[in-house]
Amino acid sequence: MTGWLDYALFPLLFVSLAVVAQALWLRAARPGPSPKIWAALIAVLLSVLIIVLEFRGALLLTFLAAALTGAYALYLNRRAKEVRP
């Protein structure tokens, strides 16, 4: 009965991380191109990968997605400091 939760929760996690990437970009005064398209594509790709791989390596992909979102936040913070006096 709860086996389907993985098919809903992992894609929801990836979409949430894409929304976080967009929010970080907005908070950083919009340096560079908008991450909306590439973040959404990455979320869809990771969701498809999770389903195709039948959750083999799901934790690795999840941690990788979270780490990349954190790295993007650090990049935006450094770039914002360069722009501001």
Amino acid type, 1: M
Between 36 and 55, where is the model more confident? 36
pLDDT at 55: 65
Which residue from 82, 84, 63, 71 is spatially nearest to 24, judged by alpha carbons?
71
pLDDT at 8: 84
Between 3 and 36, where is the model more confident? 36
Residue 1 has pLDDT above 60, yes or no: no
Buried b vs exposed e over 19-54: b needs ≥16 C-beta within 10 Å?
A: ebbeebbeebeeeeeebeeebbebbeebbeebeeee
Coil, helix or strand for 33? coil
- Tell me how far apart the alpha carbons of residues 45 and 29 are, in angstroms, rounded to a whole number: 28
What value does the mean pLDDT take over residues 64-83? 88
User: Is the CB of residue 13 less than 8 Å from the CB of residue 59?
Assistant: no
pTM of model > 0.75: no
